[in-house]
């Protein structure tokens, strides 16, 4: 196995099965769901809920404690067995029905009033369970029902990260006084071959973000998920090298009759910020994974360039990005990025496996 300095620090292809402690310990994530459930308690109390991909069942327990009449907690993994034990340990076996199986394969004999799911993956769409949520919506959700979260937006912006580049690439030029620069081309290849999951700060982002995709869970279709493309044109806020692009997302928990302002890719950066501020009110809950917000277990997803591209303040950066599910495994992603600035052009493909 390549050393971490060479392999881009990516955990994607080498993860082992584990308990979902990082998700549950993620207070930003867990508190947002609990707050949203209580905010929309009037839609949950006395109603039937389906928890798609329930995991440990924590969201099912929150819904039951909020007064749900019945909760169908569905999960395809073996953790469904432990979820059943957790339900019993909390004296909720009369309200929560744990079903071990894919939501596409299980039998539920009644319609539901609410669908809740923590379906988001890295950069929102990697290993996402969104298609399963859409399946459950179309098969079981009653007209006027509630979906939590209701909306999701994927953002992207150019980033600078000299410390990361020096640690992954320049490191090999002098290793304990030994010239290992012969490894630099290989280091560049591996650092930019697949996306990197890591935490960056707002200071690393060198332009206003643009919207890659806005998803309304009440109307979005599986067909739309097959290819997501947007063009962008942003202006650098500083003199800095661009080391790549960062992606992050936010989800909103709106009521069934509410419609989130559609953050289309045509909006100006100022429009996006103003809309986000207006939504940060008592009428909705927003879970954000942006670099300037409190870190979550999703971190941010970085698409690193093999070589940095220098830009000056106010320099235009433009291009396009296309995201498609992998043909081999639809839960994995292929990302095609085109970037042009100051006469420099980059076309790069990333495989998120």
Q: What is the pLDDT of residue 257?
A: 58
Q: What is the pLDDT of residue 24?
A: 83
Q: State the CATH class of domain 153-352.
A: mainly beta
Q: What is the pLDDT of residue 1?
A: 32
Task: Look up tokens 């995201």; give the residue.
Answer: 323
Q: What is the pLDDT of residues 241-262, one digit of tens each?
A: 999 999 999 999 998 755 444 5
From residue 38, give the alpha-carbon distance in Å to each of 55, 65, 106.
Answer: 20, 10, 28
pLDDT band at 22 (very low <50, low <70, confident <90, very high): confident
Instruction: Decide the pairing of beta strands 285-288 and 240-253.
Output: antiparallel
Which residues of the chain form CATH 2.70.160.11? Answer: 153-352
pLDDT at 97 over 70: yes
Q: What is the pLDDT of residue 330?
A: 85
Q: What is the pLDDT of residues 55-80, one digit of tens each?
A: 999 999 999 999 999 999 999 999 99
Which residues of the chain form CATH 3.40.50.150? Answer: 18-118
Q: Give the pLDDT mean for 201-223.
A: 96
On whether the CB atoms of residues 101 and 74 are closer than 8 A, the answer is yes
Of 118, 193, 194, 250, the active-site residue reads 118
Q: Give the pLDDT mean for 208-235.
A: 95
| CATH fold label, 18-118 | Rossmann fold (3.40.50)
Using alpha carbons, select from 353, 20, 341 the residue that is nearest to residue 193.
353
Q: What is the pLDDT of residues 324-333, one digit of tens each?
A: 999 888 889 9
The span from the CA of 158 to the CA of 118, in Å, is 28
- In three-state form (DSSP H/G/I as H, E/B as E, the rest C), the secondary structure along the chain is CCCHHHHCCCCHHHCCCCCCHHHHHCHHHHHHHHHHHHHCHHHHCCCEEEEECCCCCHHHHHHHHCCCCEEEEEECCCHHHHHHHHHHHCCCCCCEEEEECCCCCCCCCCCEEEEECCCCECCECCCCCHHHHHHHHHHHEEEEEEEECCEEEEEEEEECCHHHHHHHCHHHHCECCECCHHHHHHHHHHHCCCCEEECCCHHHECCCCEEEEEEECCCCCHHHHCCEEEEEEEECCCCEEEEEEEEEEEEEECCCCCCCCCCCCCCCHHHHHHHHHHHCCCCCEEEECCCCCCCCCCCEEEEEEEEEEEECCCCEEEEEEEEEECCCCCCCEEEEEEEEECCEEEEEEEEEC
Q: What is the pLDDT of residue 199?
A: 96
Q: Among this protein's residues, is 224 annotated catalytic?
A: no
Q: Give the pLDDT mean for 342-353.
A: 93
On whether the CB atoms of residues 248 and 291 are closer than 8 A, the answer is yes
pLDDT at 38 over 80: yes
Q: What is the pLDDT of residues 127-185, one digit of tens each?
A: 999 999 999 999 999 999 999 999 999 999 999 999 998 899 999 999 999 999 999 99
| Residue of 11 and 102 predicted with greater confidence | 102
In residues, how long is the chain? 353
Q: Among this protein's residues, is 118 annotated catalytic?
A: yes
pLDDT at 6 over 50: no
Of 35, 127, 198, 338, the active-site residue reads 127
Q: Give the pLDDT mean for 194-209.
A: 96
């Amino acid at each position: 196995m390549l050393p971490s300095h060479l392999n881009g620090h990516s955990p994607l292809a080498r993860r082992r099965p584990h308990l979902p402690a990082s998700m549950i310990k993620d207070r930003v994530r867990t508190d947002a769901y609990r707050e949203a459930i209580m905010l929309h308690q009037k839609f949950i109390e006395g109603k039937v809920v389906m928890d798609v991909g329930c995991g440990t069942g924590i969201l099912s327990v929150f819904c039951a404690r909020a007064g749900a009449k019945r909760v169908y907690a569905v999960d395809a993994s073996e953790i469904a067995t432990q979820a059943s034990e957790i339900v019993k340990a909390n004296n909720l076996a009369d309200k929560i029905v744990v079903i071990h199986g894919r939501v596409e394969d299980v039998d539920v004999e009644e319609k539901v009033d609410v669908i809740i799911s923590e379906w988001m993956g890295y950069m929102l769409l990697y290993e996402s369970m969104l298609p399963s949520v859409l399946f459950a919506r179309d098969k079981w959700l009653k007209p006027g029902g509630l979906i939590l979260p209701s909306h999701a937006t994927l953002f992207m912006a150019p980033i600078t990260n000299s410390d990361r580049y020096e640690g992954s690439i320049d490191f090999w030029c002098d290793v304990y006084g030994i010239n290992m620069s012969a490894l630099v081309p290989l280091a560049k290849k591996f650092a930019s071959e697949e996306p990197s999951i890591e935490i960056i700060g707002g200071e690393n982002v060198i332009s206003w973000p643009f919207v890659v995709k806005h998803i309304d869970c009440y109307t979005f279709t599986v067909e739309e998920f097959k290819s997501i493309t947007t063009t962008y044109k942003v202006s650098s806020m500083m003199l800095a090298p661009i080391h790549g692009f960062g992606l992050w997302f936010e989800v909103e928990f709106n009521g069934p009759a509410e419609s989130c302002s559609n953050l289309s890719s045509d909006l100006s950066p100022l429009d996006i910020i103003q809309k986000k501020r207006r939504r940060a009110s008592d009428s909705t809950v927003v879970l954000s994974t942006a670099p300037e917000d409190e870190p979550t277990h999703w971190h941010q997803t970085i698409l690193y360039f093999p070589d940095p591209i220098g830009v000056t303040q106010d320099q235009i950066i433009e291009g396009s990005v296309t995201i498609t599910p992998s043909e081999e495994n639809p839960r994995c992603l292929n990302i095609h990025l085109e970037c042009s600035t100051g006469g420099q052009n980059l076309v790069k493909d990333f495989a998120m496996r």
